[in-house]
Structure 1
């Protein structure tokens, strides 16, 4: 049994109310979130970014991690990374500085490991928020709490996490390859 939750306050409550660990599987090559449109445009134009638009998320992560809660994610990157993913490589060190454990798998690795092609969050080992997108925009989540289904997502999380490398290692390796 699953429940549909639209984006907004209800989903944000899931992000605030977890007790121990929130883990994200992020596998889309591009996201088109309205709040990111202007910062991405500025990045594409070579303009500076003070990350003000990202500050609420960074503050939430920092507050949670100071309280002993864990935010982590594995991102799947194309080879070569999409334009959006290249932007994320510039922005994401701020996530790490806020306390998020951010790791990377290549698309080839994710496919070889049989990992899903759908984004999701796993909260406290007991609840999955399967994310739905329309035209690369977040449209809502399907909440899954059935222990059998949640175990499948936990197994995918464990596989992904065991094979992923820290973002900064990935970034270093990518820089070395492009020389």
Structure 2
């Protein structure tokens, strides 16, 4: 698993599309989430304070014509972690990523993959592994056409049902 390229390396070779599905209500904690829990908020007027290399990777890909989409399947009411993700998703959108949210109750009838993933140009997939409490366990790469197709179909079905970030409200 350690030989799997980093996200930015995979995205730089991407020509048409990158899609990401997230299905967990909690991921590993991080300092930005903990600061948000303490009441600290992002100064959106100061991009240098929140713009990260990830956002630059997205912006470069979008400028090259790559469509970058992310769908999140979430339980409602949302967890604090998802509430924070919704808040900070503005940075993803500013970078050019399209983001949608699908309440888990509206996912009935969909067969969802057991893992979060990125798919690049419908040919290469980076699968993410987490422990039950959201701790990062690693990643793997697959170019298996059948697996990529199965996950691509799942993503598109979620995308069709999901609500655009700008319209999805968290309580």
TM-score bin, normalised by smaller chain: 0.7 to 0.9
Q: What corresponds to 1:11 in structure 2?
A: 6
> Secondary structure of the residue that 1:169 maps to in structure 2?
coil
Distance 1:132 1:15 in 2: 19
Distance 2:108 2:165 in 1: 19
Runs of 4+, deviation exceeding 3 Å = 4-7, 50-54
RMSD over equivalenced CA pairs, Å: 2.0
Greater CA drift, 46-55 or 87-96: 46-55
CA contact (8 A) 1:72 1:101 kept: yes
Q: What corresponds to 2:17 in structure 1?
A: 21
Distance 1:170 1:75 in 2: 11
TM-score for the superposition, normalised by structure 2: 0.86
Q: What corresponds to 1:167 in structure 2?
A: 165
Alignment CA distance shift 1:74-1:103 (3 Å) = same
Which of residues 57, 74, 81 is equivalent to 1:77? 74
Greater CA drift, 50-59 or 152-161: 50-59
Which of residues 105, 110, 134 is equivalent to 2:107? 110
Which of residues 35, 48, 56 is equivalent to 1:42? 35
CA contact (8 A) 2:71 2:99 kept: yes
Distance 1:162 1:5 in 2: 34
Greater CA drift, 44-53 or 140-149: 44-53
Q: In the comparison of the two structures, how many residue pairs are matched?
A: 165
Higher share in helix: 1
2:145 aligned with 1:150:
no
Distance 2:82 2:21 in 1: 15
Distance 2:101 2:18 in 1: 17
Which sections of structure 1, spanning at least 5 residues, go unmatched? Answer: none
CA contact (8 A) 1:6 1:140 kept: no
> Secondary structure of the residue that 1:170 maps to in structure 2?
coil
Q: What corresponds to 1:60 in structure 2?
A: 57
